């Protein structure tokens, strides 16, 4: 049965912003959004994400708006993805909501499936929103939320989709990295590896790469469909994969951070640590940043793996760069870090944040999603 699409009356007023027009009614700090009952009112959900404008200005941002998209009773946030004009949010009950990025108004919502369906992620590309569950790919019109197409994956998948034009790359729980060709509604290619794929596939200079839970690393040219390289490490990844400067970066449960060449699969360097690594490696301007249990946040030369500095008192993932400084989220707070020395320049306590997303890694807009499913947008200031 076709999923029902319900549009708010306010959606018609806000739709223009999705199409790229300027919404004159946007105002700093406006509280917007629509919701179903969750045990909390909209006002209570909004209030559960307190914001100090003064503190955020010290980090180089200004609070723009808060939005409360649909969260069903007993449900919570599943994922938030951001495009140039649209923020797409899905709660654990299966409902997908779209928020106009310019003004923070919910413009459509669509319940794609029931609570028992396991969704793996989404991506916005052009005028389409691609949402993947373990069994299916849902393609939505980004402006209206209407279901454009619904296709079956050949195998059950575990990973968020990586959309490359007409090709959607996903990893299966049976160890197959697959390229699903949307126009033909079928698998274009697949490579079966030992283990299970759990992390999102990454694009490394036009080559797609992923790592299984058993440490098998695979690189595939999505156009020729051929493997460009294979390698093995002693355990699977402990966090999301990183990419930059033409290399794949893997933080492994085998207590090492690795860099690999996608054209050959060869290991470029290896950084050994005393513990399993569970923080995402992030590349920026010739440096890879990763947090280790013993050394804390560490900066490594991306070409050689040599340690440039480390801060044992700072941990977490680098989520953005603002005014040349690093923003690091450690679960309970966001810290502003000097990229030259690793020293902390400021911090904000945010204990109930589910995810932090940006529309541009350097000097972009910042989106916080709270555990109550409230989304707050911050724009660069000063």
The answer on pLDDT for 35 being more than 90 is: no
Half-sphere exposure of 106 (CA within 13 A, CB side): 28
In degrees, to the nearest 5, what angle opens at C-alpha 258 toward C-alphas 253 and 264?
125
pLDDT, tens only, 106-126: 999 999 998 899 999 999 999
CA-CA distance, 118 to 132, in Å (whole number)?
A: 9
> Structure tokens of 304?
């050689």
CA-CA distance, 203 to 81, in Å (whole number)?
A: 17
3-state secondary structure the chain: CCCCEECCHHHHHHHHHHCCCCCCCCCCCEEECCCCCCCCCHHHHHHCCCCCHHHHHHCCEEEEEEECCCCCCCCCEEEEEECCCEEEEEECCCEEEEEECCCCCEEEEEECCCCCCCEEEEEEECCEEEEEECCEEEEEECCCCCEEEEEECCCCECCCCEEECCEEEEEECCCEEEEEECCCCEEEEEEECCCCECCCCEEECCEEEEEECCCEEEEECCCCCCEEEEEECCCCECCCCEEECCEEEEEECCCEEEEECCCCCCEEEEEECCCCCCCCCEEECCEEEEEECCCEEEEEECCCCCEEEEECCCCCEEEEEECCEEEEECCCEEEEECCCCCCEEEEEECCCEEEEEECCCECCCEEEEECCCCEEEEEECC
CA-CA distance, 139 to 135, in Å (whole number)?
A: 14
- Residues 98 and 87: beta-carbon distance below 8 Å: yes
The answer on pLDDT for 16 being more than 80 is: no
Q: How confident is the model at residue 38, as a pLDDT?
A: 52
Q: What is the mean pLDDT of residues 78-92?
A: 97
Q: What is the mean pLDDT of residues 51-61?
A: 95
The answer on pLDDT for 175 being more than 90 is: yes
Strand partners, 252: 237
Strand partners, 242: 249
More confident residue, 16 or 102: 102
State residue 347 phi and psi, 5-degree precision.
Answer: -160, 160
20-29, 48-57, 138-147 — which is least confidently predicted? 20-29
What pTM does this model have?
0.89
Where does the pLDDT of residue 382 fall: very low under 50, low under 70, confident under 90, or very high at 90 and above? confident
The answer on pLDDT for 165 being more than 80 is: yes
pLDDT, tens only, 293-333: 999 999 999 999 999 999 999 999 999 999 999 999 998 89
Strand order from edge to edge, sheet including 136-141:
119-125, 128-133, 136-141, 147-152
Q: What is the mean pLDDT of residues 81-100?
A: 97
Whole-number average pLDDT of the chain = 91
CA-CA distance, 105 to 87, in Å (whole number)?
A: 10
CA-CA distance, 157 to 167, in Å (whole number)?
A: 15
More confident residue, 73 or 233: 233
Q: What is the mean pLDDT of residues 102-106?
A: 96
The answer on pLDDT for 3 being more than 60 is: no
- Residues 337 and 363: beta-carbon distance below 8 Å: no
Q: How confident is the model at residue 264, as a pLDDT?
A: 97
Q: How confident is the model at residue 201, as a pLDDT?
A: 98
The answer on pLDDT for 8 being more than 90 is: no
Q: What percent of the chain has pLDDT over 70?
A: 90
2-11, 39-48, 205-214, 258-267 — which is least confidently predicted? 2-11
CA-CA distance, 9 to 15, in Å (whole number)?
A: 11
Q: What percent of the chain has pLDDT over 90?
A: 86
Q: How confident is the model at residue 114, as a pLDDT?
A: 87
């Amino acid at each position: 049965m076709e999923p029902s699409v319900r549009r708010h009356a306010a959606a018609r007023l806000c739709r223009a912003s999705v199409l790229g027009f300027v919404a004159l009614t946007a105002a700093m700090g406006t509280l917007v959004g629509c919701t179903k009952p969750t045990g909390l009112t909209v006002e209570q959900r909004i209030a559960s994400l307190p914001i100090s404008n003064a503190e955020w200005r010290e980090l180089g941002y200004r609070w723009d708006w808060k939005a409360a998209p649909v969260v069903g009773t007993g449900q919570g946030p599943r994922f938030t993805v951001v495009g140039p004009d649209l923020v797409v949010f899905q709660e654990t009950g299966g409902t997908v909501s779209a928020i106009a990025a310019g003004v923070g108004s919910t413009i459509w919502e669509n319940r794609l499936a029931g609570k028992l369906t396991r969704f793996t992620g989404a991506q916005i590309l052009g005028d389409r929103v691609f949402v993947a569950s373990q069994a299916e790919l849902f393609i939505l019109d980004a402006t209206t939320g209407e279901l454009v197409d619904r296709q079956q994956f050949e195998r059950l998948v575990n990973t968020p989709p990586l959309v490359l034009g007409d090709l959607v790359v996903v990893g299966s729980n049976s160890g197959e990295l697959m390229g699903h060709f949307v126009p033909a509604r079928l698998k274009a290619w697949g490579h079966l590896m030992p283990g299970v794929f759990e992390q999102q596939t990454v694009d490394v200079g036009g080559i797609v790469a992923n790592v299984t839970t058993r440490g098998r690393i695979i690189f595939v040219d999505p156009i020729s469909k051929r493997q460009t390289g294979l390698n093995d490490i002693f355990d699977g990844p402990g966090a999301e994969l990183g990419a930059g400067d033409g290399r794949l970066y893997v933080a492994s449960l085998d207590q090492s951070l690795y860099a690999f060449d996608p054209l050959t699969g060869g290991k470029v360097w290896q950084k050994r640590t005393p513990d399993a690594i569970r923080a995402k490696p992030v590349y920026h301007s010739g440096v890879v940043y990763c947090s280790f249990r013993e050394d804390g946040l560490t900066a490594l030369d991306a070409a050689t793996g040599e340690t440039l500095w480390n801060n044992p008192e700072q941990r977490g993932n680098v989520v953005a760069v603002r005014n040349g400084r690093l923003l690091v989220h450690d679960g309970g707070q966001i810290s502003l870090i000097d990229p030259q020395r690793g020293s902390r320049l400021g911090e904000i306590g945010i204990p109930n944040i589910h995810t932090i997303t940006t529309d541009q890694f350097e000097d972009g807009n910042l989106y916080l999603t709270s555990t109550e499913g409230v989304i707050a947008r911050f724009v660069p200031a000063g």
